Every structure is written in structure tokens, then in C-alpha cells.
Amino acid sequence: MAEPERPRRPQLIVTRRLPAQIEARMSELFDVELSEDDLPMSAKTLAAAAARCDVLVPTITDRIDAAVIAAGSAAAGGRLRLIANFGTGVDHIDLKAARAAGVIVTNTPGVLTDDTADMTMALILSVPRRLAEGEKLVRSGKWTGWSPAAMLGHRIDGKQLGIIGMGRIGQAVARRARAFDLSIVYHNRHRLPDIVEQQLDARHEPDLDRLLAESDIVSIHCPHTPETENLIDARRLALLGRHVYLINTARGSIVDEEALIGRLERGDIAGAGLDVFAHEPAIDPRLLALDNVVLLPHMGSATIEGRDATGERVILNIRQWADGHRPRDQVFEGWV
């Protein structure tokens, strides 16, 4: 059966508030229904939205499951044709259901690489040097002045950084880390070409367990998939030495959070820098009580420049689709 003609001015529903200039541009080009309260949509609201639009523009806070996609299907009387995700990760979208329903999915890869890599380096510096603890001490009014034995942290130069996932962000982190004289070891599904390893001065470690056992700092940059769910489980966390710092700016569910909390509480690892959590925005109160953890509100990509660039890529993908072309960032099942 031939594909129905694509609307030149499609009906969009945007689930969250976007930068003002992006919303204005969308309103110029498309028929747009914008979010009014900037709150995550419920499953019922998402299904209703999918049923009455050509293009749904969700974010990571929206669970686009099979039921939502079915509500927008032609069989259900809907007209959903494109899910133009605002962001790179698509683990909140049922790709199999979308593909079966003939719904195209796009994302925005690459535009947030530097933002996330910068935040990762900020955590790599902050946790060993106890920056968050120092800031709290000053604000508390309890700081009594400089002392040669107070607030001692650890240098990072000469230490080994183990990177799990050597895609765009992992490589960007490696480039930054070399400037701080960290030695780079990485684990990835596929080894990088020799020329890239040489440029990054990075060594491939095919054995994830060995990387964990030998690294001083471990930074997670792999996508969240069924295969990486709890990839860093209790057994693997036990491989980390007492001097090791764990950094996660990827997805909270890649790490067994319960096991991580236990090891942090007991001092089995030195500390952690976390921008993502297993059940965000709910944060386990035990994490809040730990001084050896830096906690951030999933802000690794939160820059004005990054959000604007993401919005522009969403618009580009929608325009290419509406013009009858394959969108630049069309996602296929198994894209990660």
C-alpha cells in the first residue's frame, strides 16, 4: 500500500515547553499545540495527543509505549506519522511498536555531545576535590578558615579513567580528560579504529570487569538498552576499589542504584558524581545524606546553546519529513 501523502503543514503536539525562539519557529512552520504547564504528560494525555496529531514532539520524560502509538494509529482513527524526539536517547519510545505501526521516529544525535562531556569533566573534578562539600561548608557558616589538614581531596592527574561507551560523548570526554593528564582506557561494543585510538591516546579493554578493577575513575556513557540495564550491577560494583570514583551522566538504570548506595555508605568506593537516577525525579533519601556524592538534576545537556540546537534539529527533521524526504536523524530499531 502506498504511503499517504504527507501534510505540508503538519499538526504538531509538543509535550514540554521548549526555548521561546524554537516554539516561535515551530508556530511559523507548522500547526502547533504547545505545552501550557510544562509538566510530563500522563499516559492518558499522551494517548489522546497521539490520536489527534501528525507529529508528536516528546522528551525523555514522556513514555511513548505501544498503547500511545496504537492510539495514534490509522487503525484507531488517528493520524500519527512521526515522533520527532527532542533529545538523543530514545529508550522511552517503543521502537518496535512504532515500526510496526509505520510511525517514523527521529532523534537529535550529536548536538549535546560537548555539553554532556563538559558536565562529565565537571563531575570528574568535583568529586575527588570535594567541591560540593566545600561549597556546603562555606554556606553553612561553619568554615573557620584555612587549615593545612582540612578538606583534603585527591589529584586526578596520572590516574586511569575507564570510559564505558566510546561513542560521541565518550570520545569527547576522553579528549578533555587527556588535558588533565588522565590515562584513558575504554570499553565499547566495537573497538575504535586505530587512528581514532591514537588521536585520543586511548586503550581498548574488551573485558569490562578488568576495566572496573583497574580504573581510578569510571565514567558511564553507553546508551540505556535492555542489554545495559543494570550493566553495573552489585557484582561489578564490588570490583571497584575503595579509592574509585563512579561518574554517571548517561542513564540511572545502567547502574544498580541500591547496590551503589550500599557501597557508598560503607566507604567501599570513594565517591560518585551522578546526573541521572534510576527513578528520577525521585531521589533515594540515602543519596541525599551522603557527603561523598555530587548530585545533579539531569542537567548534563542543559545549556542555552544545546537546547536551541536540539530544537533546530527537531524542526529540520519535521520539515524534511513533511517535504517527502527521509529525515536526517531517522531512527531504526537497534540504532544504538
> 311 with 57: CB under 8 angstroms?
no
Q: Where are the beta strands (DSSP E) in the chain?
A: 11-14, 31-33, 55-57, 82-84, 104-106, 160-164, 183-187, 202-204, 217-220, 245-248, 271-274, 293-295, 330-331
222, 231 in Cβ contact below 8 A? yes
Residue 305 burial by CB count (10 A; 0-12/13-18/19+): exposed, middle or buried? exposed
The 160-164 sheet, strands edge to edge: 202-204, 183-187, 160-164, 217-220, 245-248, 271-274, 293-295
- From 332, 330, 333, 334, select the one nearest 109 (Cα to Cα): 330
Q: Which of 280, 286, 312, 333 is catalytic?
A: 280
Active site residue 251: yes
257-265 contacts, C-beta under 8 A, 24 or more apart: 257/284, 259/233, 259/234, 260/232, 261/286, 261/287, 261/290, 263/237, 263/238, 264/290, 264/292, 264/293, 265/290
16, 187, 251, 307: which is the annotated catalytic residue? Answer: 251
Name the DSSP class of 122: H
- Catalytic residue list contains 279: no
Q: Which residue among 6, 99, 298, 319 is the active-site one?
A: 298
Radius of gyration of the chain from Cα atoms? 22
For residue 316, give the H/E element and its range.
helix 304-322
Q: Is 298 a catalytic residue?
A: yes
Q: Which residues are catalytic?
A: 251, 280, 298
